[in-house]
Chain A
Amino acid sequence: MCLAVPARVLEINGDLAKVDFGGGITRDVNIMLVDVNVGEYVLVHAGYAIQVLDEKEAEETLALWREIMEIEGAEAP
Chain B
Amino acid sequence: MIEGKGFRDPILANRIIEGIRRVTPKNDNVKICHVCGTHEWTISHYGIRSLLPENVEVIAGPGCPVCIVPAAEIDEAVHLALKGVTIACFGDVLRVPGSEISLLDAKSRGADLTVVYSAMDAVRIAEKNPSKDFVFFAIGFETTAPSTAIEAIKKPPKNLSFLISHRLIPPAMEFMLGIGDLHIDAFIAPGHVSTIIGLEPYEIFPKVYRMPTIIAGFEPLDILMAIYMALKQISERKATLENEYKRAVTWKGNLKAKALMNRAFRVVNGAWRGLGRLPDSALKLADEFIEYDAREKYGIKIEGGRDIPPGCQCHLVIIGKIKPTECPLFMKSCTPQKPVGSCMVSSEGTCRIWARSMHLKFAH
How far, in angstroms, from A41 to B2 measured CA to CA in the complex? 8
Most buried by B among A3, A22, A59: A3
Residues of A within 8 A of B16 (CB): 65, 69
How far, in angstroms, from A6 to B92 measured CA to CA in the complex? 21
Known: A3-B192, A46-B118, A72-B19. Contact between A53 and B140, CB under 8 A?
no
Residues of B within 8 A of A76 (CB): 22
How far, in angstroms, from A53 to B1 measured CA to CA in the complex? 11
Question: Closest CB of chain A to B335's CB: distance in Å?
Answer: 21
Q: Is the CB of A46 within 8 A of B144?
A: yes
Q: Is the CB of A57 within 8 A of B118?
A: no
B196 interfacial contact with A, CB 8 Å = yes
CB contact list, B1-55 vs A, under 8 A: 1-3, 6-7, 9, 12, 15-16, 18-19, 22, 36-38
Q: Which of B12, B193, B225, B246 lies in contact with A2, CB distance below 8 A? A: B193
Q: Chain A 44-77 against B: per-residue CB contact (8 Å), 1 yes, 0 no?
A: 0111101101110111111001101110110010
Q: Is the CB of B150 within 8 A of A33?
A: yes
Q: Is the CB of B15 within 8 A of A73?
A: yes
Q: Is the CB of B247 within 8 A of A61?
A: yes
Residues of A within 8 A of B12 (CB): 62, 65-66, 69
B66 interfacial contact with A, CB 8 Å = yes
Interface size class of A (residues with CB under 8 A): 35 or more
Given contacts A2-B348, A53-B2, A53-B248, 20 further A-B contacts (CB under 8 A): A1-B141, A1-B143, A1-B144, A2-B143, A3-B37, A6-B1, A33-B147, A45-B192, A46-B143, A46-B147, A47-B117, A47-B118, A48-B118, A48-B119, A48-B146, A58-B3, A66-B15, A69-B15, A69-B19, A70-B15
> Which B positions have Cβ atoms within 8 angstroms of A?
1-3, 6-7, 9, 12, 15-16, 18-19, 22, 36-38, 63-66, 90, 92, 117-121, 139-141, 143-144, 146-147, 150, 190, 192-193, 195-196, 221, 225, 244, 246-249, 254, 256-257, 260, 346, 348
A34 interfacial contact with B, CB 8 Å = yes
Q: Which of A2, A34, A47, A50 lies in contact with B190, CB distance below 8 A? A: A2
Across the interface, name the chain A residue whose C-beta is closest to B17: A69
Q: Is the CB of B64 within 8 A of A1?
A: yes
How far, in angstroms, from A47 to B122 measured CA to CA in the complex? 11
How far, in angstroms, from A16 to B28 measured CA to CA in the complex? 52
Nearest first, the 3 A-B pairs at minimum CB distance are: A47-B118, A69-B15, A51-B195
How far, in angstroms, from A29 to B124 measured CA to CA in the complex? 14
Question: Closest CB of chain A to B259's CB: distance in Å?
Answer: 10
Chosen A-B contacts, 20 in total, with CB atoms closer than 8 Å, are: A1-B90, A1-B348, A2-B348, A4-B195, A32-B150, A34-B256, A43-B195, A46-B118, A46-B147, A47-B119, A47-B120, A48-B118, A50-B257, A57-B247, A62-B9, A65-B225, A66-B15, A70-B15, A73-B19, A76-B22
Across the interface, name the chain A residue whose C-beta is closest to B147: A48
Could you tell me the dominant secondary structure of chain A's interface residues?
mixed
Q: Is the CB of A2 within 8 A of B248?
A: no
Question: Closest CB of chain B to A2's CB: distance in Å?
Answer: 5
Across the interface, name the chain A residue whose C-beta is closest to B41: A3
Known: A3-B348, A51-B195. Contact between A46 and B247, CB under 8 A?
no
Q: Is the CB of A34 within 8 A of B119?
A: no
Known: A50-B196, A73-B19. Contact between A1 and B247, CB under 8 A?
no
Q: Is the CB of B121 within 8 A of A47?
A: yes
Known: A1-B64, A57-B247. Contact between A62 and B2, CB under 8 A?
no
Question: Closest CB of chain B to A9's CB: distance in Å?
Answer: 12
Q: Is the CB of A55 within 8 A of B118?
A: no
Q: Is the CB of B195 within 8 A of A72?
A: no
How far, in angstroms, from A10 to B92 measured CA to CA in the complex? 29
Across the interface, name the chain B residue whose C-beta is closest to A44: B118
Residues of B within 8 A of A33 (CB): 146-147, 150, 254, 256-257, 260
Residues of A within 8 A of B66 (CB): 1
